[in-house]
Amino acid sequence: MVHAAIVSEPPKAPLSGPSRRQADTPSRGSALASGGVAEGVRVLKPRRAAPADALRATRAEINLAALRHNLRVVTRHATEAGAAHVWPVLKADGYGHGAPAVARTLERAGAKGFCVALLEEAIELREAGIRAPLLVMGGYAASAYEEIASRDVTPVIYDLGQVETLVRAARALGHRVPAHLKVDTGMARLGVQMKDLKAFAEAFAKQREVCITGLMTHLACADAEPGHTDAAFTAQQVSRFEEATQVLTSAGVIDACTVRHAANSAALLRGEAVFDAVRPGIAVFGVSPLAAVSSELHSAMRVRTEIVDLRAIEPGESVGYGALFRASTASRIATIPMGYADGLSRHLSNRGHVLVRGRRAPIVGAVSMDMAMVDVTNVTGVALRDEVVILGAQEGLLGKGAISAEEVARAGGSIAWEVLTSISRRVPRFYREP
């Protein structure tokens, strides 16, 4: 058995964000930076279970060394492709890994900025002592942008109502407000549509309170394999993004110092749609959307629990809700304290696997809210309190193996992104320094 040091989340650093920037236009090197002091509405979030609170054995172990390794990998790819900025995406609680601890690790490892989806996520990082610039990318009603502007974060805008709200906020704050402008090049989700871009640019140019320090778009098919019908769509989006750049430059909305960014993990690793900055998400956590580079990345999350019950059942006896599994032979069934409320998907009922003593064992019956059952008939010497690995690697008395997020996703008819982000807040995160 390989042992590693297990530590709880590092203590929070004192909250002391970057000094307020009074310059009219932030420099390219600090393209994410924004003025403003954290004031106004206090945002409350559900508290994540802490290691000290853990009474059951179910937990997620986060390998901090793997995070640093993955940052080096994506930074190398970005540098080779000509990007000057790497802004890891830490939305959805850092893809389920615990955003504050992840951000502290990556900031110390050299990350110069981060992207999040929600203002609440940005506030959580600021309260955790993160000083790096933060870009808030999620969609909000225009009325929310005054609150966003008062925080030490940079908002993403895509309609004139948001601009008007930012103008009022800038006047109240007494300085210009930077923002990134999002253009819809084919995702059809958020962003100024290409047909409306010229009119948007003309209207935007009439104000002086908001400056565009970044231009972005979102790629829809960056992970499509070469030869797939969707593979050419990224090139179309890049072409539209270049067209948008020309329109906005001609209107005086952006200039040569505006940082452009489009590449997600898949595009970055493929070397496509790489501009001044890149926004790697899932690759930072060790999952590659591209099979060709999966070996470069190290999985950062390991989810484990222990057997809390063992029982023998006879042929024909059922297991779990709905009697979805019936034993065909005499069997040994182990109960583990992890269910769909913890992130073990119900879709893994009679389909997923776990590791016990280094050997694979099938999940049998319906995964319930707090527990699941595993057939350990073929696991020699199995006993109460034996470790069970749901996600990640295990080296045991009967061998060694690993269950990846991609495997879990295939078994449950999902994607690796959902597997990682579904590990709920009631599962404590333990941070490892191997």
What are the extents of the domains in the chain? 64-294, 301-403
Q: What pTM, to 2 d.p., does this model score?
A: 0.88
The letter for the amino acid at 123 is I
Q: One fold for both 64-294 and 301-403?
A: no
Q: Which two tokens stand for residue 345?
A: 């998907």
pLDDT in tens, 47-58: 777 777 778 899
| Among 126, 53, 62, CA closest to 285 | 62
Answer yes or no: is pLDDT of 3 > 80: no
What CATH architecture is 64-294? Alpha-Beta Barrel (3.20)
Residue 349, SS3 per DSSP: coil
The CATH H-level superfamily of 301-403 is Lyase, Ornithine Decarboxylase; Chain A, domain 1 (2.40.37.10)
Residue 270, SS3 per DSSP: helix
Residue 388, SS3 per DSSP: strand
pLDDT at 42: 54
- The residues assigned a catalytic role are 91, 321
Answer yes or no: is pLDDT of 2 > 70: no
What contacts 205, CB < 8 A, 6 or more positions away? 251, 252, 253
Model confidence at 31, in pLDDT bands (50, 70, 90)? low
Answer yes or no: is pLDDT of 17 > 80: no
Model confidence at 164, in pLDDT bands (50, 70, 90)? very high
pLDDT at 43: 56
Mean pLDDT of 163-178: 95
pLDDT at 18: 38
41 vs 291, more confident: 291
Mean pLDDT of 146-150: 89
> What is the percentage of the chain residues whose pLDDT exceeds 70?
88
Q: Which two tokens stand for residue 231?
A: 């593979």
Residue 267, SS3 per DSSP: helix
Mean pLDDT of 13-40: 41
CB 145 within 8 A of CB 157: yes
Model confidence at 36, in pLDDT bands (50, 70, 90)? very low
Mean pLDDT of 261-269: 97
Rounded to 10 deg, the angle between the 99-108 and 119-127 helix axes is 60
Model confidence at 14, in pLDDT bands (50, 70, 90)? very low
Answer yes or no: is pLDDT of 227 > 80: no
Separation CA 102–CA 428 (nearest Å): 14
pLDDT at 46: 63
Separation CA 80–CA 400 (nearest Å): 36
Answer yes or no: is pLDDT of 86 > 50: yes
Separation CA 96–CA 419 (nearest Å): 9
Q: CB burial class (10 A; 0-12, 13-18, 19+) of residue 118?
A: middle
Model confidence at 120, in pLDDT bands (50, 70, 90)? very high
- Classify residue 48 by its DSSP letter: P
CB 113 within 8 A of CB 132: yes
Residue 108, SS3 per DSSP: helix
| Among 283, 181, 180, 276, CA closest to 222 | 283
DSSP string, 391-426: EEEEEETTEEEEE-HHHHHHHHTS-HHHHHHTS-TT
Q: Which two tokens stand for residue 402?
A: 């690993």
Separation CA 161–CA 74 (nearest Å): 36
